[in-house]
Amino acid sequence: MKQRYSISEMAELLGVTTHMLRHYEKVGIIQPEVHPENGYRFYTVLDTRRFNLSRLFLACGLSLEACAELLASPDAARTERLLEAAVREKQLEIEKARVAMRFLNNLRSLYPHLQERVNRVWVENLPKMWRLNVSQMEKAVLTPELRQQREAWLACQPGVYWTSCIRRDTLRDRKTGPIEYDFGLMCYESDALAMGLRQTPDVEVVAGGDYLVTIHEKSDRGAFTWEDIAALTQYMQDREIRLHGDAFSHILASRCVDGRVYNDHRVFLKIYT
């Protein structure tokens, strides 16, 4: 005997809404039978199983459209492409979760002692990094290809983060007033490769090794100035550090005190010893 369900009965059985079932019917995943005489629509066990399979596909990261295609009559090659794309997307999610855990744990250990480190300078050994420059100062300079790359990189946050880059030649001038810098995106090379980013001609490879690191606090709304990194430049001057690369800066924390905003930035400068 064929088991038949009204739409409300099927929704009750599967724990979903009738609105959802109608949507799945619209995209072709379930197909109710229609009584030839009275036009009454009813669903069967066949529909419940197709619906449940599509929900499994969705839980694995496939789109509803991909689910509908898999439950239609795709050829073997198309099925392989759909499943391969879903696997790649899930791998990216895993890598982003791994990076997010590292990012959050780093902040958890850093935040309680953040203010103690403001204007202190220390040395850290950092791995090789990639950088995608997308602006001069805060003004975007984007070709269509660079715009596409920016979107791909932004999809990989928090493995990718915004940074300002102060070039080596600029640092050697050590003037006063505003600092010239480029604004772009940065990540560890290992994270970039794990998340599937490509090393194109627009991607700059930043050397790993020893870096001078400091944290500076900024509360005014103007451009970054030499005074903002005075602790770093003074450290270099006192120790006669002349062989160095570019410097990079990114935000670590922000807070409001008595209506005033304070941002804490991490600055790291490549040195050669």
Q: What is the CATH number of the domain that holds 184?
A: 3.20.80
Mean pLDDT, residues 247-261 taken together: 93
- Choose among 121, 131, 142: nearest CA to 250: 131
Q: Are residues 116 and 240 in the same domain?
A: yes
- Choose among 183, 95, 181, 188: nearest CA to 132: 183
Mean pLDDT (the chain) is 91
Mean pLDDT, residues 217-238 taken together: 90
- The per-residue pLDDT for 2 is 64
Q: Are residues 56 and 125 in the same domain?
A: no
- The per-residue pLDDT for 37 is 79
Q: Are residues 20 and 153 in the same domain?
A: no
Q: Are residues 235 and 136 in the same domain?
A: yes
Q: Are residues 183 and 243 in the same domain?
A: yes
**pLDDT tens profile 103-158:** 999 999 988 999 999 999 999 999 999 999 888 767 777 788 989 999 999 999 99
pLDDT for 273 beyond 80: no
Peptide bond into 32 cis (omega under 30): no
Model confidence at 206, in pLDDT bands (50, 70, 90)?
very high
**pLDDT tens profile 83-99:** 998 998 898 889 999 99
